[in-house]
Structure 1
Amino acid sequence: MKILIIEDEVELAESIATYLTDENYRCEFAMDYQQALQKTEFHQYDCILLDLMLPGGDGMKILEKLKAENKADGLIIISAKNSLDDKIKGLQIGADDYLAKPFHLQELAARIYSVIRRRHFTNSNIIEEHELKIDLLAKTVYAKEEVVPLTKKELNLLLYFISNKNRVVSKNALAEHLSGDLADMMDNHDFIYAHIKNLKRKLTEADCGNYLKTVYGTGYKWEG
């Protein structure tokens, strides 16, 4: 799962990223208003952490722009501005949550998890898809009650496909999901093929049906 941290306090941003990386999230940064606009315009995230007081502009304007464009990214405001008016305005515009600074990183991670769960997985900690059962809290996949030994990236891919089931996911979208900004610097998509090949093999070995289809020349689709 991919997180964008829009925060100009470098130490806080790095602290958040370190904690969330240990929780199996991949983090990117925007340190000012213009960087945040660029990132949110050209990339999609599972959850955005938005500071309201940014160099070069008002973070609330970014939220307004995202909602005006019907962007599907989850969003949590993280701000030292702990006024009731700011909370109400942010939530009315469309933020999923509001967390005042200072906060505990464990609480932030729990709120991120809750936003992603609500948006992608109908607010459940357990996803049941065909003969698969995925425990989001334990980060464990079962097929017919047996554990499927997926790596972090393979689990990330599986969740991404299931959250976009019955849609064709392009190779470029997969590259960005797995690698973020680095995707533009890559000459080919060999690393995607390798991860998908391993994911398919492990699901087949677990006697799962062939739900992950290759759409030739375009990408892949999980048939739900």
Structure 2
Amino acid sequence: MKLLLIEDEPMLLDEMEAYLIEQGYRCEKATTFAAGEDKIVLYDYDVIILDISLPGGNGLQLLQLLKKQQKEAGVLIVSAKDSLPDKLTGLNLGADDYMTKPFHLEELNARVNALVRRKSFKGNSQIQVDDLTIDPVAKTVSCNETFIPLTKKEFELLLYFIVNKNRVVSKQSIAEHLWGDHYDIVDNFDTVYVHTMNLRKKIVAHTGIDYIKTVYGMGYKFTSA
């Protein structure tokens, strides 16, 4: 899952990033209104953690931009402001949740997990695709209770395919999802091909079904049986 952290307090931003990366999330950061605006327009995220008070603008304007762009990211507002009008404004503009600073990182993680389940997996703690069972929290995959050993990148890739089930995803979008701000280090898309093929082989070996189809000239598509 890919997160965007829009926060202008450097220490808090670094703490959130370090903690959420430990929980298995891929994080990108923005410290100003303009930087947040650029990332929202150019990229897609699963969850955006959004501060209201930002250099150069108000976070609520970014929330309006998200809705105008018809982005599907879950939005968790974090703010030092604890007034009821601020909360109501954020929620009425389409935010999914609201936390007041200071907060415990454990609670932040729990709120993010809940948002991911609600947005991507319809509230389920586990995802079922035919005989495949995926646990996003434990980060495990099994077929008929037999564990399928996946690398971290393979697990992230499988979740990305499932979230985008029946859609064609390009190699570039996969690279952006798996490597975030550093996806340009993938000089070509051979690395994406290798991760996809390894995942494909492991899933086929355990299920006998090739869920990941190559769409020549475009990318890949995950389809259930």
Provide TM-score, normalisation by structure 2: 0.97
Letter in 1 for 2:2: K
Structure 2: gaps (5+ residues): none
Deviations 1:113-144 (A, max 9, x none): 11111111110001110110112222111111
Q: Which aligned pairs between 1:26-175 and structure 2 lie closer than 5 A?
A: 26-175=26-175
Runs of 4+ aligned structure 1 residues displaced above 6 Å come to none
Structure 1 residues 208 and 9: CA distance shift in structure 2, 3 A: farther
Provide the rounded CA distance (Å) in 1 between the counterparts of 2:172 and 2:222: 16
Provide the rounded CA distance (Å) in 2 between the counterparts of 1:184 and 1:152: 19
The question of whether the paired residues in 2 share the 8 Å contact of 1:171 and 1:189 is answered with yes
1:211 Cα deviation from its structure 2 partner: 0.9
Name the % identity. 50
The aligned residue for residue 21 of structure 1 is: 21
The question of whether the paired residues in 1 share the 8 Å contact of 2:41 and 2:69 is answered with no
Provide the rounded CA distance (Å) in 2 between the counterparts of 1:32 and 1:94: 21
The aligned residue for residue 193 of structure 1 is: 193
RMSD: 1.0
Provide the rounded CA distance (Å) in 1 between the counterparts of 2:81 and 2:208: 50
Letter in 2 for 1:47: V
Structure 1: gaps (5+ residues): none
Provide the rounded CA distance (Å) in 2 between the counterparts of 1:168 and 1:87: 37
Provide the rounded CA distance (Å) in 2 between the counterparts of 1:182 and 1:135: 27
Letter in 2 for 1:146: T
Deviations 1:125-164 (A, max 9, x none): 0111011011222211111110001111111111110111
Instruction: Tell me how many residue pairs correspond in the alignment.
Output: 224
Provide the rounded CA distance (Å) in 2 between the counterparts of 1:102 and 1:208: 50
Structure 1 residues 208 and 125: CA distance shift in structure 2, 3 A: farther
1:221 Cα deviation from its structure 2 partner: 0.3
Provide the rounded CA distance (Å) in 1 between the counterparts of 2:10 and 2:42: 23
The question of whether the paired residues in 1 share the 8 Å contact of 2:63 and 2:95 is answered with yes
Deviations 1:163-205 (A, max 9, x none): 1111101111111101122224532111111111110111122
The aligned residue for residue 8 of structure 1 is: 8
1:65 Cα deviation from its structure 2 partner: 1.0
The question of whether the paired residues in 2 share the 8 Å contact of 1:143 and 1:208 is answered with no
Aligned with 2:44: secondary structure? coil
Provide the rounded CA distance (Å) in 1 between the counterparts of 2:107 and 2:185: 35
The aligned residue for residue 177 of structure 1 is: 177
